[in-house]
């Protein structure tokens, strides 16, 4: 049996709302190996963030199980680090203090925190901005800080919820390459949600297509595109072929969910 770090088995998530109950995930199954980059794509509202929030321990599934390193997730999960679309940095803290925040909570000494934070800053190319505040940085730079802050806690798994969605196309491409480099250097396991099929193809070792709500795994692709996934790979026949295939699957789900909403 091959080693797995994440095992999601038969995960169901039903929310109770004022209008009744809403099933976001149904029989969601996924296994991830250590060091894999798994991208998840699917129609808006299919339960992608819900699954990530379960992984992070922000939500408890209604039924089913998620194991991380064979252990169930109970409460906010220190073994996972998360980055969000809106960066979620502390605006009143400098870059150094944002990155050192998690280690500070763990009781790491100030000198050691600063030393570690400087290492992350150099890894993501933010030298010279150690004492800047988030409001003084561009979106791409803020997301680099958020990535460093997540990694400074040395998580086993990096959870990414559409982190590059708000960035301009060029910055986004640069950050994709940087993420790949940082992940290769640190060996982290990554679960990355995106609604961009291009992004999923560039980043992933495997690409999961989810069904429309209630979300479940529809198809998993082994992404055989050559590495490095620079601009060049994006204009290969194989890239376009995979993009077409994934797009057809996603579109099928989007159209299906829209028909379901039409009045009868």
Ligand X SMILES: Nc1ncnc2c1ncn2[C@@H]1O[C@H](COP(=O)(O)OP(=O)(O)O)[C@@H](O)[C@H]1O
* Residues at the contact surface with Mg ion, assessed by CB under 5 A: 49
Residue 138 contacts by C-beta under 8 Å, 6 or more apart in sequence? 171
Three-class SS of residue 115? helix
CA–CA separation, 22 and 20 (whole Å): 7
Q: Which two tokens stand for residue 254?
A: 């989007």
Interface with ligand X (CB under 6 A), residue from 28, 32, 49, 180: 49
Residue 50 touches which member of ligand X, Mg ion, none, C-beta under 5-8 Å by kind: ligand X
Three-class SS of residue 53? helix
Using the rule CB under 6 A, is 30 a contact of ligand X? no
- Of 46 and 152, the one with the shorter C-beta distance to ligand X is 46
Task: Point out which span in 41-49, 109-117, 125-133, 182-190 binds ligand X (CB under 6 A).
Answer: 41-49
In angstroms, give the least distance from the CB of 69 to ligand X.
Answer: 24
* Summary count for the chain: helices (H), strands (E): 8, 10
Residue 24 touches which member of Mg ion, ligand X, none, C-beta under 5-8 Å by kind: ligand X
Q: Which residue has the tokens 């220190």?
A: 78
CA–CA separation, 101 and 85 (whole Å): 19
In angstroms, give the least distance from the CB of 194 to ligand X.
Answer: 11
Instruction: Please give the residues from 84 up to 143 whose contact with ligand X meets the rule CB under 6 A.
Output: none
Which positions lie near ligand X, rule CB under 6 A? 15, 17, 22, 24, 42, 44-50, 213
């Amino acid at each position: 049996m091959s080693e797995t770090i994440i095992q999601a088995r038969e995960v169901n998530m039903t929310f109770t709302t004022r209008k009744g109950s809403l099933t976001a995930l149904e029989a969601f199954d996924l296994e991830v190996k250590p060091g894999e980059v798994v991208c998840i794509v699917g129609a808006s509202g299919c339960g992608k963030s819900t699954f990530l929030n379960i992984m992070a321990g922000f939500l408890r599934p209604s039924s089913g199980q998620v194991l991380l390193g064979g252990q169930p997730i109970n409460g906010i999960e220190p073994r996972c680090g998360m980055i969000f679309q809106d960066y979620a940095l502390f605006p009143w803290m400098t870059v150094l203090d944002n990155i050192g925040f998690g280690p500070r909570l763990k009781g790491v000494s100030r000198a050691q925190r600063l030393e570690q934070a400087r290492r992350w800053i150099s890894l993501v190319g933010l030298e010279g901005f150690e004492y800047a505040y988030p409001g003084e940085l561009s979106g791409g730079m803020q997301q680099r800080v958020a990535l460093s802050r997540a990694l400074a806690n040395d998580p086993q798994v990096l959870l990414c919820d559409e982190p590059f969605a708000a960035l301009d196309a060029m910055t986004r491409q640069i950050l994709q390459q940087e993420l790949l480099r940082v992940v290769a250097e640190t060996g982290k396991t990554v679960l990355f949600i995106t609604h961009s099929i291009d992004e999923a193809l560039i980043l992933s070792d495997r690409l999961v297509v989810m069904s429309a709500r209630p979300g479940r795994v529809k198809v998993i692709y082994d992404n055989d595109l050559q590495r490095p996934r620079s601009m060049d790979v994006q204009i290969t026949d194989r890239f376009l072929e995979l993009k077409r295939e994934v797009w057809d699957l996603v579109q099928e789900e989007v159209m299906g969910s829209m028909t379901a909403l039409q009045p009868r």
